[in-house]
Amino acid sequence: MAQAGMAAGASMLETSHANLGLALGGGAALGLAHIGALRVLERAGLAPAVVTGTSMGAVVGAAYAAGKLDLLEALARQINWRRVLRLTDFRLGGSGVLEGRAIERELRRHFGHQRIEDLPIPFAAVATDLGTGTAWTASTGDLVTAVRASISLPAVFAPVRLQTPSGACLLVDGGLVANVPVAAARTLGADLVVGVDVTADFESVATTVGLRDQLLPEAQRRGIRARLWSAVPAFMRGWPLLRRLRAWADEPSLLAVALASSALALRQLSLQQNAAAPAALTVTPRVGHIFHGEFDRAEELIRIGETAMEESLGALRRLVGAAEGRSL
């Protein structure tokens, strides 16, 4: 799909904050914080004229551009594990654990066969072309296909196979190349871009999984391993059979190391990408204490997104004022 979308939103670009674009980053459930960020911008009279999104950011961005943010927020607040499981179509022997047709049907149910260029607000979803290793930006064409491609986390969802004028391509999650799609927003006409990055709160991740607790003196630790060891009577702690328990209590768990390492890798990838295409302002909701799969915490995530954007409003107003002053 070619870069496009300017004609569809030309009137909006001329009448409101013409240079303001919003780039919503990926992060699975954490991306629900974008709903709160958008609500604050609306209330502040700073609604973006251009929206781009990667992965969950593409879902929220598409809903906003299509005028369906109220619907998405209502659905998000109703999510529980039973609803999530209904969207999981497991399969064996494929290129992803989930086939992805269930989530595509759900997207189709709400967006129908709407085309991106017909949306009232210019929008683009970003995926990764697995054959070339480059960003694939959809600002025209079928909205559901673009969003489905953008959310296709490798090994979780089967890639989207698409026929283009230049040949077939396999599309996976856009977070591999542009987790916060700032460049895509600029291509759509925004020269003042606000990025929302939900993968940046690594310190909270390290605390939540217990790594910081492990670094404290033994008497100050509150993690489950420390509590189990503290329950052992002092006279028993020197017994040979309990030495392994002591060593176990002194080590972080395999899960904690894996979760923290993956979160750090995501943060570093985003930092590198953001340095290559920096936003005028990056908003970082403090969501590191919530895991990527906790869709049932939508209410909390939306509230955190609101808080993060509210804290950034002063800086954003100054940037908008300066940009509009230069354009006069």
Q: Could you identify the residue written with the tokens 């909205």?
A: 143
Q: Could you identify the residue written with the tokens 């969501």?
A: 287
Give the DSSP letter of residue 87.
T
Q: Could you identify the residue written with the tokens 């929220």?
A: 60
Residue 18 near residue 50, CB atoms below 8 Å? no
Task: Count the helices and strands in the chain (H runs, E runs).
Answer: 15, 10
Q: Catalytic annotation on 173?
A: yes
Q: One of 129, 142, 173, 201 is an active-site residue; which one?
A: 173
CB count within 10 Å of CB 66 equals 21
Residue 173 near residue 128, CB atoms below 8 Å? yes
Give the DSSP letter of residue 239.
S
Beta bridge partners of 138: 125
Nearest to 58 by CA among 165, 175, 204: 175
Q: Could you identify the residue written with the tokens 């079928």?
A: 142
Q: What's at 123, amino acid-wise? A: F
Q: Catalytic annotation on 150?
A: no
Residue 37 near residue 305, CB atoms below 8 Å? yes
Q: One of 55, 139, 150, 270 is an active-site residue; which one?
A: 55
Task: Show which residues are catalytic.
Answer: 55, 173
